[in-house]
Chains A and B, each alone.
Chain A
Amino acid sequence: MKALLFALRSFGRELRSGEVLVLLAAVGLAVAALTAVGFLTDRIGKAVARQANEVLAADLRLRSQEPVPAEWREMAADFNLETADTLSFPSVVFNGDDSALSSIKVVSDKYPLRGAMRVSDELFGEQREVDTVPASGEVWADGALLARVGADVGDILDIGELQLRVSAVLTYRPDQSIGFASLAPTVVMNIADIDRSGLIGVGSRVRYALLIAGDEQNVASFNEAIQDKLPDEIRVRSQEESSERAYNAADRAQRFLSLTAVISLLLSAVAVAMSARRFAHRRMDAVALMKSLGATQGFVIQVSLVQLLLLGILGVAAGSIVGYAAEGIISRILADLLAGDLPEAGLRPVILASGSALVLMLGFALPSMIQLRNTPPLRVLRHDEMPPAPSRLLVGGLSLLAVAALLYRSVGDPRMLVILIGGIVVIAGGLYLVGRGLVAIIGRARSGVGVAWRYGLANVARRGRDSAVQVVAFGLGITVLLLLTLVRTDLLEGWRQTMDEDAPNHFLINIQPHEVESVGEMFVTNDLEVPTFTPLVRARMTSINGESVKDRKYPNEDGRWLANREANLSWSAELSSSNEIVEGQWWSAEYKGPALVSIEEEAAMNAGLTLGDKLEFFVAGRSVEAEISSIRKINWDSFQPNFFLVLSPGALDDLPTTYISSMRIADDKQPMLIDLMRKHPAVSVIDLGAILQQVRGIIEKATLAVQAVFVFTLAAGIAVLFAAVQSTIDERRFESAMLRALGARKLTVFSGVMAEFAALGAAAGFLASAGASILAWLVATELFELPYEFSLLIWVAGIGAGIFVVCVSGFFAARGAVNAAPVDVLRGVTT
């Protein structure tokens, strides 16, 4: 009680004296950075996820071969979720005598729940977004379909027993990339018309879907609630299964965002730890004095804790205000990128950040405070008497505990947690050891250099443990910033390829062998590069190593599905440029032996297949057996035709084959496609433009998120360095005053200080480069599944950045110390 009163009373005085400002600033900065990053990751993360969900036109999709029973719709309503129904099936559409196979999409009023359809009023006309569906008695049809049957807006199409008027040209629907299998052009019609169509009957291949969307939390709990109850014939699809490409981009962006959040957390932790150290150090004299005047340990620690807590609260308050303001400004800047219907970010990130900062402060400052308690009162007589250093176990344990607790909250991914914490602990340990070693070497080296350097290097050596701690702080700061830079560069580079303006934007499928040549000629006459035609053979897998695919056990459902569905096989002499062999070997170009097959990595895993397994296929009355000779990884971002199963040349000769191809066709050349469809009515043209646009949308947001968050983390990193320099500022003031009193010129003293920082920065940068290279490799390969190349440049950058950043923050921090008038300092010290 007495301690509380005393602490409260003297806190005001402490504040006035400015003693505690550094810790206050560190805590404030931590909160501000965490708030801003938390806000960005939260908001942008949601925007990215929403965009990715567009691919599904919903957050969740229940699909079935039968109508989805009403109970699921009601259950969704109970969870406060919106629903929409869709049916899709293939059907022939007539315009008079012209007909074409088309994919009919029957939708209810609310479709789509995510994203929006776009239509135009005439073929190749200006497109606009709509939030309705075709009225009863009307349809919206793909331009490709209209071209093929020679119809235009306003014409009547016969679909089943219905006669429906084309009221608009469908140019985009969010879920068009789903079900690549049914690639026929789409007609969208109203669900009200379906009963009269006569299209739904026994044997019709109708796929029913119930679309569900709503609050993230509600969707998740709904998804959880239905997991066990769902009958076998209903399958749930969430966004991650629906579009590999879109999902990959969104997923990596999310991972990067959480990585960034973690890193700003770590940086804040280091900043708080450094300034807490200084805070404790500065209080040591006061504590020794209080003890000599009769204060007990309990009293001393209570006072310190209360003041620490008060500081924390003040810092948190200041940081919250800054963070909240930043949040407001950022959301205004990003307004059009963050879709309008996102919930306001609100106070949540502020509260989380404040909590985190308080936990950090306790975890990192507590050991220093506990150390304070043991300050020997003898210090009042012998100034070099120090309290015993806090137990390493305590320091390590408490700080790790604090960080782990926070990380666990912000990263759902235990693997990332292990990699990061493990990496950081190892790097910090290494930094400390090497730091001490370097300090020793630097101490030796000082006799061979000029006075400024000697003074600087002597300082590094004398402050042994302190210098090593500084190297750790600098090093960790630089490590995580380098790490972030490396991963960010990798990520952006990967995305750039997808964003490539030359990426294919059209697929041609169902090209008959005899058409290959004339289709190719059409490209020549239109001044376009003739694309590669890839063969495709439809087959059914019948057995694996002699065992029927129906009876076999699979590691998971996807594997069973893969083995039992109709398979698209291809053959090729050369490995596609978008593929990479991960196991086994690709056959030589002249290979003529027994049939071999190369399987995609994930498919192999799902179906439990390995090298040497024998797959038997049934094609057009013939059986083909092939042995797995390699496993491939496919870069789905390439937009090239790719197959799970590719056989060796000759294996599929004389079997019914069609060809597919992908190509880039510039906008002004697109009319040639209508020509092509007229001449080769059986060939289907698929416009990837819309999908590309979707993926780009995601990537643009993700890129922005990555950049913005990076800037904030950078700021937190600088704060660490500043705090590290600040922690020695008092000593520096005194030393510099003394040296100048002894006749050293300001410049000499200053050069000495800079020499010290340069040495520290170089050491830290060197170690950080090593640490970051290893961590980045782990993170890139393990978490982002990106190829990683070790680069020498990072060492140059690391050491350069180390020297530069440490010297710059050192410059600002030490300038005051060097400029202080010697008399003032020397007077002040003997108070």
Chain B
Amino acid sequence: MQEPVSGDTNVASPTLKASVVNPAANPRRMRRIIAEDPEWSLAIVPHLSELCLQHIVSNFEKNPVVDHLLPEHQRKVLDRISTGLPLTVTANLISDEGYWKRCCTERWAVCDVSRYGGSWKRMFFERHLENILKYFIPNTTDPNQVLEVIPLCKEYVRKLEIDQFLPPVKLDQNKEEDDMSDSGSDVEFDEFCMNHYDLGVLTAALSHLEELHLTYGVKDCGMNFEWSLFDFTYQDCYSLANAFKKCHTLKVFKLCRSKVDDEKTRVLIRNLLDHPCLVELDLSHNLIRDRGARAIGKLINRSKLEILNLCNNRIRAPGAQAIAHALAKNSTLTSLNLRINCIEDEGGQAIGHALLTNATLTSIHLGGNELSEPTATLFSQVLAQNTVLTSINLACNHIGLVSSFPA
């Protein structure tokens, strides 16, 4: 075996790492059979094919040859090529999961492939793109950085989970604006400074995009906290709404912790009306009030929405009534979450009445809504009549002694 020799030359090769790590090869040389190494061979001179493969591996970047090889050789080449190869070479060429698994495990410590449909390649590209977007700073980062990746990954990306969007960097005004941002009245900055990255280009290009999880905010800001870091501006909202229009395959949309208020909700909802695929909508932890709720109620009956999550918003009785009104006529929605709102008895009763006629909703969460006995009695009636409902959560309410529902 001539591994030590070749190992010295190809330091980056992961397959030969063992020999690099283990410089004491002398005892190996003494042995005739090395059972733990599957590639060990007694032959002193390597086969020509072996040498060729080695050459292919070492020059893969310049001359990628995979498809013309025999299956066993393909296997060997894919096992040996470096994970650091540029994506432009590998992205559309290599479909082997083993290679992408190596890439993923090398790059991230935690890899749960089950969340990506069991596909390592998809995981790699999705996370790669997420990474790029997470650290994209408008006006500073080169937008080509994103545009270059798009053609490589558009075939594989189905889901984007972006939990932070960085705002543009303000160099000298940072400190002065501390006070100003509190009031939230500086319009001129919003106009040209505070807009985040526009997703329109991306969603139009990604033809298989199905899920989009967004959070307009900054993670781990620590003591550099500024309110402006967490602004979801109108411009952002419009650009996002336009992005929806271009993305017809979208099924799941989540926009959490982004200070979405009524106006922005209405803008978003207007663009989501009659969307062909949208199934799940999550607008939890925002600032949606009754008007936004009314818009959402309108959306319920003008789309194929099945799951709706509005937890931790500011919806009060009128908004809840609007949603209930929509719910009474709906036949697609199966799950509704209104946790931590303030719909009170009026809204609760409206929803209860809606459930008397609705026959599709299976689970509802009304925890922390200041509900009390009238709603509870109505719900007992609903439970007697409705046969579809399987789960109700009424935690953190003032129901009194009537309660007998599972948590």
Q: Do A and B bind each other?
A: no
